[in-house]
Amino acid sequence: MKLVRFGEAGAERPGLVDQQGRIRDVSGVVADWAGETLGKASLAALASRDPATFPVVAAGVRLGPPVATPGKIICIGLNYADHAAETGFEIPKEPLVFFKSPTALCGPHDAIRIPKTASAVDWEVELAFVIGREVANVDEGEALAAVAGYTVANDLTEREWQFNRGGQWSKAKSADTFCPFGPWLVTADEMRDLATRRIWLKKNDVVRQDTHLRRLVFSVPQIVAHLSEFMRLMPGDAVLTGTPFGVAFNKPKPDYLAAGDVIHCGIDGLGEQLCTVTD
């Protein structure tokens, strides 16, 4: 299934996308896509229903993030070898972990706002996944059972804040609108061939990032197992798996984002984002 949330920011309702690409309102049976509603039993119960029994939502409605504000947004850094090389870092020996504030989350077509003191806002398209059940100290063989589904994320980053404001990665990643998320959360049962999927990003119609998910250094099962060693993962937690080669940082003339730029990105089977940059 493709799970969505639609409506005005802060007042989104849960839905799903039917076979004809129409959004169906499931708020009559699901309070929101959050917590236990992302569990295996809840999703299986919904999948057993005929989508035609749910009301059709008018075309053109705004899409919000496909899950409600998560308790944690956990990020994995330098998880493509070519991205580590372009930024001047070595490939980590184990997943490099940092956090984004949950308040950074926004919809897949919302405007990206450049903060007042920002001067070096960069893009990072990433595969994201959402946890569907509470898990701690899980091994790799059981890790995928904890994943509710997958989506597209853009881990926007202010490079000046990241490297010259105390070396705190999280504060460079957490401004409002610094995590466009969606358009859909595709349930894990429909995404068993992740490695074959293309991940890409265009800035102003020019391709800047373009590779396949097989290039991830640490796989989704490895990431889940690693994170669960150090923290309890809860239903609704979001995990961003890292970005490939092609960001602005460390270029001779980095073309960081400016008002009027358009970022278009996506992953095969997970949909696309289209965001305009504003100041």
The CA-atom distances, in angstroms, between 278 and each of 10, 61, 111, 114, 258 are 20, 21, 7, 6, 7
pLDDT at 84: 87
Reported confidence tier of residue 59, pLDDT bands at 50, 70, 90? very high
* pLDDT, tens digit (0-9, with 9 covering 90-100), for 67-94: 999 999 999 999 999 898 888 889 999 9
Rounded distance between C-alpha atoms, residue 261 and residue 37, angstroms: 36
The pair of three-digit structure tokens given for residue 98, joined into one six-digit string: 């940092």
Q: Which residues contact 120 (CB under 8 A, 6 or more apart)?
A: 158, 159, 160, 161, 248, 249, 254, 256
Dist. CA 210–CA 99, nearest whole Å: 25
pLDDT of residue 249 exceeding 90, the answer is yes
Beta-carbon contacts of residue 276 (< 8 Å; ≥ 6 apart): 111, 112, 260, 261, 262, 263
In order of start, what are the domains of the chain with their CATH numbers? 67-278 (3.90.850.10)
Please name the helix (run of DSSP H) or strand (run of DSSP E) that holds residue 210, with its range, or none. strand 206-212
Q: Is the pLDDT of residue 100 over 90?
A: yes
**SS3 assignment for 163-180:** HHCCCCHHHHHCCCCCEE
pLDDT exceeds cutoff 90 at 168: no
Mean pLDDT calculated for residue range 166-180? 94
The 10s digit of each residue's pLDDT in 8-29 is 999 999 999 999 999 999 999 9
Q: What is the pLDDT of residues 179-225, one digit of tens each?
A: 999 999 999 999 989 999 999 999 999 999 999 999 999 999 999 99
Q: What is the pLDDT of residue 268?
A: 98
Q: What is the mean pLDDT of residues 128-155?
A: 98
Tell me how crowded residue 97 is: count the other CB atoms within 10 A of its CB: 17
Which among 139, 254, 140 has a CA at the least distance from the CA of 203? Answer: 254
**Model confidence over 105-136: pLDDT tens digits?**
999 999 999 999 999 999 999 999 999 999 99
Round to whole Å and give the CA distance between 221 and 242.
14
Q: Which pLDDT value is given to residue 250?
A: 87
- The full length of the chain comes to 279
Residue 167 has a pLDDT of 80
Mean pLDDT, all residues of the chain? 96
Q: Quote the radius of gyration of the chain (alpha carbons, Å).
A: 18
Beta-carbon contacts of 65 under 8 Å, excluding residues fewer than 6 positions away, are 5, 12, 105, 106, 107, 108, 181, 182
Instruction: Work out the pLDDT band at 169, boundaries 50, 70, 90.
Output: very high
Handedness of CA 154, 186, 194, 237 (dihedral sign): positive
- Give the CA-trace dihedral at 254, 255, 259, 265, to 10 degrees: -110
